């Protein structure tokens, strides 16, 4: 599909061999973009590039390695002469458990993978975009960066850092016509969960139908989020339709973070009402008999005494 303002535009995506990144590679190519994407899963990356044809190129790029990220951006610039969107998306789930038990090495590694990688993408994408006086940098943050309880401590802290880095850099690059935004996906059915639980990428892929069922009731909208939901949001944020949107963290979560779920809230308020009525009734029963006395729950200050 074309007509979304991406015809001939040049897009670089990290972590493009699976999940949200793969869906984004497919979506941007379908919208007419020329895409250069990187990952560490080379077989998958090459197979995807082959399947999508000449508008798409894969290159090995470990986002924790500075020269790999620089190489990805250089590749796009040398081949196509410009850069319209850099989508810093690669990531993985972090080690869980108590803060007291979190190894320092794991903390550093997760910040390297989830935050330093986004900084590197920004660092190398900014100069050509500033020179063009146009472009959009996107990062994949998470609802875990907005609220506690949606990821491990280090994952949550890293994703919050991505959101704030997005705002800070948007303030700088906006003056040059370059926009900087990030996405906050909720529960999206990708291999990330099973891989974090120790499964191989193949096992994680095989488990996706079951994962979609497990995630279907996690948020008000009664289905699991899909990588395509996030890719669609990325396409909009990167495109001309969002040309006045910068420094924004776009939540794509089916309502996961809106607050307590309606059915649960209604049940809790009903239970609270029942408890208050029962308490008032028992106090009425215990009170000394007084003809005409108002029940305690209705008694207020006396008027005119």
Candidates 15, 121, 128, 254; binder of ligand NAD (CB under 6 A) is 15
24 binds ligand NAD (CB under 6 A): no
Helix%, strand%, coil% for the chain, nearest 5: 50, 10, 35
CA 164 to chain centre: 14
Candidates 10, 90, 182, 235; binder of ligand NAD (CB under 6 A) is 90
121 binds ligand NAD (CB under 6 A): no
From 58, 124, 155, 193, active-site residue: 155
- CA atoms 214, 217, 218, 221: torsion sign: positive
187 binds ligand NAD (CB under 6 A): yes
Strands annotated E in the chain: 10-14, 34-39, 56-60, 85-88, 136-140, 179-185, 249-252
The tokens for 44 are 């998958």
261-280 residues near ligand NAD, rule: CB under 6 A: none
Candidates 18, 181, 218, 226; binder of ligand NAD (CB under 6 A) is 18
* Shortest distance in whole angstroms from residue 203 CB to ligand NAD: 12
Candidates 92, 146, 214, 245; binder of ligand NAD (CB under 6 A) is 92
Stretch that binds ligand NAD, among 129-137, 186-194, 256-264, 274-282 (CB under 6 A): 186-194
228-267 residues near ligand NAD, rule: CB under 6 A: none
Is the CB of residue 11 less than 8 Å from the CB of residue 85? yes
Candidates 10, 11, 12, 20; binder of ligand NAD (CB under 6 A) is 20
Q: Report the distance separating Cα 271 and Cα 273, nearest Å.
A: 5
SS3 assignment, position 277: helix
Q: Report the distance separating Cα 214 and Cα 34, nearest Å.
A: 35
The 3-state secondary structure of 233-258 reads HHHHHHCHHHCCCCCCEEEECCCCCC
Stretch that binds ligand NAD, among 38-46, 77-85, 102-110, 258-266 (CB under 6 A): 38-46
188 binds ligand NAD (CB under 6 A): yes
Total binding residues toward ligand NAD, as defined by CB under 6 A: 29
End-to-end Cα, the chain, rounded Å: 79
Catalytic residue status for 58:
no
Q: Report the distance separating Cα 133 and Cα 42, nearest Å.
A: 33
Q: Which is nearer to ligand NAD, 30 or 214 (CB)?
A: 214
41 binds ligand NAD (CB under 6 A): yes
* Shortest distance in whole angstroms from residue 257 CB to ligand NAD: 11
**Residues within the interface to ligand NAD (CB under 6 A):** 14-15, 17-21, 39-41, 61-64, 89-92, 113, 140, 142, 185, 187-188, 190-192, 195, 227
Catalytic residues: 155
């Amino acid at each position: 599909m074309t007509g979304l303002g991406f015809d001939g535009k040049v897009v670089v995506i990290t972590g493009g061999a699976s999940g949200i990144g793969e869906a984004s590679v497919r979506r941007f190519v379908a919208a007419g973009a020329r895409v250069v994407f990187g990952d560490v899963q080379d077989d998958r990356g090459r197979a995807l590039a082959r399947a999508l044809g000449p508008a798409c190129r894969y290159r090995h790029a470990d986002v924790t390695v500075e020269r790999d990220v620089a190489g990805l951006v250089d590749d796009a610039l040398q081949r196509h002469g410009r850069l319209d969107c850099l989508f810093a998306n690669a990531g993985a789930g972090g080690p869980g458990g108590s803060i007291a038990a979190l190894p320092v090495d794991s903390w550093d590694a997760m910040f390297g993978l989830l935050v330093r990688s986004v900084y590197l993408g920004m660092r190398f994408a900014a100069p050509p975009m500033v020179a063009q006086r146009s472009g959009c940098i996107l990062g994949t943050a998470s609802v875990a960066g907005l609220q506690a309880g949606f990821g491990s401590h280090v994952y949550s802290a890293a994703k919050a850092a991505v959101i704030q880095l997005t705002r800070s850099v948007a303030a700088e690059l906006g003056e040059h016509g370059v926009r900087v935004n990030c996405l906050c996906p909720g529960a999206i059915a990708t291999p990330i969960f099973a891989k974090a639980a120790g499964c191989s990428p193949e096992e994680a892929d095989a488990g996706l139908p079951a994962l979609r069922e497990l995630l279907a009731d996690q948020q008000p909208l009664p289905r699991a989020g899909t990588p395509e939901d996030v890719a669609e949001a990325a396409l909009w944020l990167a495109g001309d339709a969002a040309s006045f949107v910068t420094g924004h963290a776009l939540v794509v979560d089916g309502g996961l973070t809106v607050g307590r779920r309606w059915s649960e809230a209604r049940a809790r308020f009903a239970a609270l009402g029942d408890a208050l009525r029962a308490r008032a009734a028992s106090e009425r029963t215990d009170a000394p008999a007084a003809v005409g006395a108002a029940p305690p729950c209705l008694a207020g200050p006396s008027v005119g005494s």
